[in-house]
A and B are shown apart, each in its own frame.
Chain A
Amino acid sequence: MTSKEALYHYVLKMGDSSLIMGHRLSEWTAHGPVLEHDIALTNIALDYIGQARMLLTYAGELEGKGRSEDDLAYWRDAAQYRNSLLCELPNGDFGQTVVKMFLFDAFQVELHEALSQSPDEQLKAIAIKSLKESKYHLRYSRDWVLRLGDGTEESKIRIANGLEAVWMYFGDLFAPSEGESVLVSDGIVPETASLRKRVEETLRKTFEEATMAVPDFDAVMQEGSQRGIHTEYLSYILSEMQSVTRMHPGATW
């Protein structure tokens, strides 16, 4: 595999993850708990989708087949999507949403931090811009893990259940994209698995501070996203997201 092909797969993993994460968060818009948090969740959804647009546009360029951000978003099926499994999980209650965001954001901060040094100019530029956002996202989701984890009896139970529901998808965040080793040996990206220690540290500290049980980092994890094997949820997300566009092939909007 050429470096360019490998980078296409790598950027696709990032772009798809941001898109699906943004899609799930946008389900809260107009239904958010308290107006202020409706606004905050929508803000973060806007950031994720903004990142997805930059990344998918870049992926299309790398692929070199003339596919636009919309071609990639709307005209691929679940088996061609490369988002991390965590992103496609249902929102559940606000506690589950927040803890899912927290795992993702902790990973994103490390990833964007590392990619800010990439010799690939475009990836570097996207990472620098995204890092500011992911730091803010992490502050938001981390604060809520603390509040809910160390809040009322009810919120403790809810967030613990939320964590329990999403935990087995944590490991898949670190699954290497197709051909990642080529990029690693060329020094373009870090080995994704190498980010794991630092992410786990963020998690451990936060869960301890939140007086929550720290989950088992050696637990058996689900995987498969980088081979196109997803949860049952993704195809529902896509059939909803793509429904209008696919009814009208060739139309402009």
Chain B
Amino acid sequence: MEEQEKLARFQERIDSGQKIEPKDWMPERYRKQLTRMISQHAHSEIVGMLPEGNWITRAPSLRRKVALLAKVQDEAGHGLYLYSAVETLGVTREDVINEYLEGRAKYSSIFNYPTLTWADIGAIGWLVDGAAIINQTMLARGSYGPYSRAMVRICKEESFHNRQGYEIIYTLAQGTPEQKQMAQDALNRWWQPAIQMVGPPDDNSPNSAETMRWQIKVESNDVIRQRFIDRTVPQAHAAGLTIPDDQLKFNEETGHWETGPIDWDEFWRVVKGNGPCNRQRIQDRINAEREGQWVLDAAAAYAKKQGKKQLTLTE
């Protein structure tokens, strides 16, 4: 079959809503785009463990400590699950992890901000997991089978994280004046990064046209961001908190909340490596991988010896 014809058939399958599976023919660009997206997503789950892990030892009650530990553990599970999804595209987990450790792969830029108080743990669950769910619910409708199925499974846990995060923030906002201040301060710092999190505006998103044509993404960044804002603003108000945007207003005609200008310069600055924690986040993961290497080597050496013992026993 001619390349052109294959491509046309592929597009037909996509347009009729069929899922593409690992053994199916796919254009190289489709494979590339998916590999890029899924591995970025996997790295984000793993890097995201760091800012939240930062408060496990200081969680202010044992109940919160257990919930936070379980949440960070879920994120590790998401990472594993996504690394397996990316392996269906013919790359190894090791390859994609190395790309990231060498600074060649991206991950969700929001994790390059520091967690400075306990309220940041609430803000991350509420805002970051909140934006992630909206994005991932959309990705769950995407055309690549393994990725879309991974999203369905992950979304269930994310919505639990999201509720838990909002509950932390809500409790703080109803607490002592100092606690309320802590919650407001967290919202002030995380609001802009959160609304930037789903990605740049459609007219400045280099991959959007292609990923949407192949229905890897089925909705645009602008649509997702607006949905997140519309959902989150009333939640902030219900908790008695103020969104840090004096131009924020509700448009009666469209039914949408409209924000003031979004600081895209800031977004690109952090994406390009110059956020407050970019270096630290990569270094922490490099350290963990380094600690992992001698452990894995030992396990492999031990397994080899055991295999030999097994052989001599049966001989």
Does B57 lie within 8 Å of A33, measured CB to CB? no
Number of residues of chain B lying within 8 A (CB) of chain A = 49
Do A252 and B73 contact each other (CB < 8 Å), given the known contacts A30-B50, A53-B66?
A: no
Check if A178 is an interface residue, CB within 8 A of chain B: no
Does A240 lie within 8 Å of B57, measured CB to CB? yes
Check if A73 is an interface residue, CB within 8 A of chain B: yes
| CB 8 Å contact bits of B262-299 with A (1 = contact, 0 = none) | 00000000000000000000001001100111111111
CA distance A52 to B301 in the complex (A): 37
Partner of B294, one of A31, A155, A247: A155
| CB 8 Å contact bits of B58-76 with A (1 = contact, 0 = none) | 1111111110011011001
- Name the residue among A37, A148, A151, A158 with the largest chain B CB count within 10 angstroms: A151
Does A35 lie within 8 Å of B65, measured CB to CB? no
Does A31 lie within 8 Å of B288, measured CB to CB? yes
Name the distance in Å between A33's Cβ and chain B's nearest Cβ: 4
Check if A248 is an interface residue, CB within 8 A of chain B: yes
CA distance A151 to B296 in the complex (A): 10
- Name the residue among B63, B69, B303 with the largest chain A CB count within 10 angstroms: B69
Check if B252 is an interface residue, CB within 8 A of chain A: no
Does A73 lie within 8 Å of B302, measured CB to CB? no
Does A94 lie within 8 Å of B305, measured CB to CB? no
Does B297 lie within 8 Å of A50, measured CB to CB? no
Name the distance in Å between A132's Cβ and chain B's nearest Cβ: 18
Partner of A154, one of B46, B73, B294: B294
Do A251 and B179 contact each other (CB < 8 Å), given the known contacts A37-B295, A39-B77, A245-B61?
A: yes
Check if A230 is an interface residue, CB within 8 A of chain B: no
Partner of B76, one of A19, A38, A251: A38
B11-19, B144-152, B170-178, B205-213: which one contacts chain A?
B170-178
Residues 39-86 of B at the A interface (beta carbon under 8 Å): 46, 49-50, 52-53, 56-66, 69-70, 72-73, 76-77, 79-80, 83
Does A50 lie within 8 Å of B66, measured CB to CB? yes
| CB 8 Å contact bits of B141-171 with A (1 = contact, 0 = none) | 0000000000000000000000000001001
Name the distance in Å between B68's Cβ and chain A's nearest Cβ: 9
Q: How many inter-chain residue pairs (CB < 8 Å) link A and B?
A: 145
Nearest B-chain residue to A158, judged by Cβ: B294
Does B72 lie within 8 Å of A30, measured CB to CB? yes
Check if A146 is an interface residue, CB within 8 A of chain B: yes
Residues of B within 8 A of A111 (CB): none
Residues of A within 8 A of B53 (CB): 29-31
Check if B118 is an interface residue, CB within 8 A of chain A: yes
Check if A125 is an interface residue, CB within 8 A of chain B: no
Name the distance in Å between B89's Cβ and chain A's nearest Cβ: 19
Name the distance in Å between B135's Cβ and chain A's nearest Cβ: 22
CA distance A53 to B111 in the complex (A): 31
Does B305 lie within 8 Å of A26, measured CB to CB? no
Number of residues of chain A lying within 8 A (CB) of chain B = 50
A40-48, A99-107, A167-175, A200-208: which one contacts chain B?
A40-48
Check if A164 is an interface residue, CB within 8 A of chain B: no
Check if A23 is an interface residue, CB within 8 A of chain B: yes
Residues 127-171 of A at the B interface (beta carbon under 8 Å): 146-148, 150-152, 154-155, 158
Does A39 lie within 8 Å of B76, measured CB to CB? yes
Name the distance in Å between B112's Cβ and chain A's nearest Cβ: 15
Check if A93 is an interface residue, CB within 8 A of chain B: yes
Does B58 lie within 8 Å of A248, measured CB to CB? no
Residues of B within 8 A of A146 (CB): 302
Nearest A-chain residue to B176, judged by Cβ: A251
Residues 103-154 of B at the A interface (beta carbon under 8 Å): 118
Partner of A46, one of B52, B66, B297: B66
Name the distance in Å between B49's Cβ and chain A's nearest Cβ: 4
Residues of B within 8 A of A154 (CB): 294, 297-298
CA distance A243 to B59 in the complex (A): 9
Do A46 and B295 contact each other (CB < 8 Å), given the known contacts A32-B288, A35-B79, A245-B60?
A: no
Does A244 lie within 8 Å of B118, measured CB to CB? yes
Does A152 lie within 8 Å of B62, measured CB to CB? no
Check if A34 is an interface residue, CB within 8 A of chain B: yes
Jot down 15 A-B pairs with beta carbons below 8 A, ordered by A. A29-B53, A29-B72, A31-B53, A32-B292, A38-B76, A39-B77, A93-B291, A147-B303, A155-B301, A241-B57, A244-B58, A247-B178, A252-B175, A253-B64, A253-B175
Enumerate chain A interface residues (CB-CB to B < 8 A): 19, 23, 26-27, 29-39, 42-43, 45-46, 49-50, 52-53, 56, 69-70, 73-74, 93-94, 146-148, 150-152, 154-155, 158, 240-241, 243-245, 247-248, 250-253
Given A26-B57, A151-B297, A251-B179, 18 more pairs with CB closer than 8 A: A29-B53, A30-B50, A30-B53, A36-B80, A42-B69, A73-B62, A94-B295, A146-B302, A147-B299, A148-B302, A150-B305, A152-B294, A155-B301, A158-B294, A248-B176, A250-B176, A251-B176, A253-B118
